[in-house]
Amino acid sequence: MNSSPNENHDNHLMVQFFEWDSVAPSGFTWWRHFAKEVPYLASLGCTQVWLPPPNKAMDKEGRGYDAYDLVMHPCVWDLGEFSHKGRIATRWGTKAELLESIKIAKANGMGVLIDAVLNHKLGADRTETFPAVECDPDNRLRDNAPVRNIKAWTAFDFPARGDKYSSMKWTQEHFTGVDWDELTKKKAIYRIVGQGHKGWSKKVDTELGNYDYLLGIDIDFRHEAVRNDMFAWGSWVLQETGATGFRLDACKHIDYTFLRQFVLNARKQPGYERAFVVAEFWIDSVHAIERYMNTLRAPVSMFDVPLHHNFYRASEQGSKFDLRTILDGSLVQHRPNDAVTFVDNHDTAVGCSLESWVSGITKLIAYALILLRPDGHPCVYHADLYGEGTVSGLPELMKARKLFAYGPLVDYFDDAHCIGFVRKGDDTHPHGCVVLCANDGTTAHEKKITVGAAHEGTSWKDLLGQSGRVSIIAGIGTFTCPASGVAVWVRE
């Protein structure tokens, strides 16, 4: 993993610095707000930030996932530089502000991930008429009607940008499908047919028969001009912004041969040979994710979706959930070096497309597990660190990761409602820590835990505020935890 421009960091830590409805504080753009927060994030141990898509969106307040001419799309060349769609700035700010914020992040030892929304486009400049077939939305391999002409928004001219950065202009020949017919005013999934079109890609997920189509105007990654333009953009955006890698959006829907080459091509650039890339393949099955990784055959980490769903189930079940099973079936358990662990993100929030919000004390337990154990590459969500939804104790856990969570791991997963583990420390962080997590909500817990003879006679305190101290006798301490909560014990 190359998660930071500075390899001197000890524990790496990613932060997702945005939410679906993020609004910058008064007097700031989002990029300027981020730049102001960089020193604080660095003090918590953050070494990497995942920023929202910096490209121009279809709508003024678009998050960038409705890509028009962006930094993460087939034509991702407008980062807030040109007067497209009635404005110059994106929802997040101007290109100059973006570049300055990335410069500040790197000066503070933080790498930056570009959120690459490559799958589709929206907000075309004009319509075209062409033959298409309406498909069954529940089985995209089944046609619902015969071929007929439709009129759709598929032509992208980028009049303000012209040919700067790229001379490619997008038309229906570069897409596989759309979801709107302007002639009949009907919303449906239409597969584009006719000369040069090959149908849906077969090198995608098989959900709904074929999951090539997700939304908007679906890009055909088999088209040579598309591939060349996208590969050029991938190299350009890293060099233009100084970013250090990518987060790849919606990989279930993108031809995996294209994604493989996209990653390899980006890593060919001087200085980017170890660029960090993490892919979103949303499915609650570690075996499906492993199959995808084996098929993709690229130097890419994966978000640990099964672990998130374990956290969600634990949150929903409360004291009925057996904490000893909380890591079962997760990617971090099966392939720890490839897992990017997280608790929630912009899609899992209440009311969002993948709603599965982790709540209550389970959220703090989940963060203790991803931040203080050695495996995986953890990511903290903006909503849990800022604003009304701040998770009490999260900054302390992040600091504990930075200062104490090192060395060999010993688990004490011996109670359904109270689990623990020890980090033994290493040569440069010799003291380590003891972590206990409980979810039964009735009585406080205690565990006898061996920390080793090197700590004989020392006193330990809980970073999360429990009163009292634990004395180490014969290398063993009796550590406590609230009935529902987390305790992180460190040597005084």
Give 78's contacts (C-beta < 8 A, 6+ positions apart): 55, 56, 68, 69, 70, 71, 84, 158, 160, 161
CA angle 43, 46, 52 (to 5 degrees): 125
Q: Give dist(CA 407, CA 422) in Å, integer.
A: 9
Q: Which of 100, 125, 280, 415 is catalytic?
A: 280
By the 8 A CB rule, do 87 and 113 touch? Answer: no
388 catalytic? Reply is no
Give 297's contacts (C-beta < 8 A, 6+ positions apart): 260
Exposure of 462 by Cβ count < 10 A (0-12 exposed, 13-18 middle, 19+ buried)?
buried
By the 8 A CB rule, do 75 and 229 touch? Answer: yes
- φ, ψ of residue 470 to 5 degrees: the values are -115, 125
Tokens standing for residue 183: 């002639």
* Antiparallel, parallel or unpaired: β 120-121 and 217-219: antiparallel
CA distances from 393 to 10, 18, 71, 257, 310 (A): 22, 20, 35, 43, 21
What is the Cα Rg of the chain in Å? 24
By the 8 A CB rule, do 99 and 242 touch? Answer: yes
Give long-range contacts, CB 8 A cutoff, 24+ apart: 464-470.
464/393, 464/396, 464/488
Return the DSSP state at 412: E
Q: Which of 97, 212, 229, 249 is catalytic?
A: 249
**CB-CB neighbours of 27 under 10 Å:** 7
By the 8 A CB rule, do 433 and 423 touch? Answer: yes
Q: Which of left, alpha, beta for 440 (phi over 0: left; psi -120 to 50: alpha)?
A: alpha
456 catalytic? Reply is no
Tokens standing for residue 185: 């005013």
Active site residues: 249, 280
